[in-house]
Amino acid sequence: MQPSSLRLIVYVSQSTSPEAKQMSDVETIVALAKKKNREFGITGALFFLNGNYMQVIEGEEQAIAQLMQNIYADPRHISIEMVMDTPIRKRGFQQWNMDYFNLSSPTPVRREDLIEISEEFKRNLMPGGDIIVKFYKAILESAESEAKD
């Protein structure tokens, strides 16, 4: 038997749908991902922020390669930019076949900022997926605090 070849991928993309349809798209994507990811041993999380997606996925290389082909072919988003693609020894999302976080808020966070933050993690920390989730939850909490002030 071959040793495990786990990969962690993080990408960002932009929704092609009108704003009124975006949440419906996200719900459809998440429902299908929960079903298919379990079948193919893929774990991760999807973040949605003001019309932009960020997805963190991890799994065996072959399953990840097929999933990325599907993602690139999906007409619901464009401008797919790979932020992180690295081998990992263990999963950061062991129990998550696809959790979803809606980070959209009245306080806008630019797509470029998400890319820059992810690049900074990549350069300095190379965290497991769980750290990325904690960080983006912190962004949401910060945005909610600023909106209340």
- CA nearest neighbour of 25 among 44, 48, 43: 48
* CA-to-CA dists, residue 83 to 18, 31, 106, 143, angstroms: 25, 24, 25, 23
Average pLDDT of the segment spanning 59-82 = 94
**Domains of the chain, CATH where assigned:** 6-148 (3.30.70.100)
Residues 127-137: tens digit of each pLDDT: 555 566 666 66
Q: Between 149 and 50, where is the model more confident?
A: 50
Residues 6+ apart with CB under 8 A from 12: 52, 53, 54, 79, 80, 81, 83, 111, 114, 115, 118
Residues 96-148: tens digit of each pLDDT: 778 787 777 666 666 676 666 666 655 555 555 556 666 666 666 665 665 56
Q: How far apart are the first and last CA of the chain?
A: 57
pLDDT for residue 90: 84
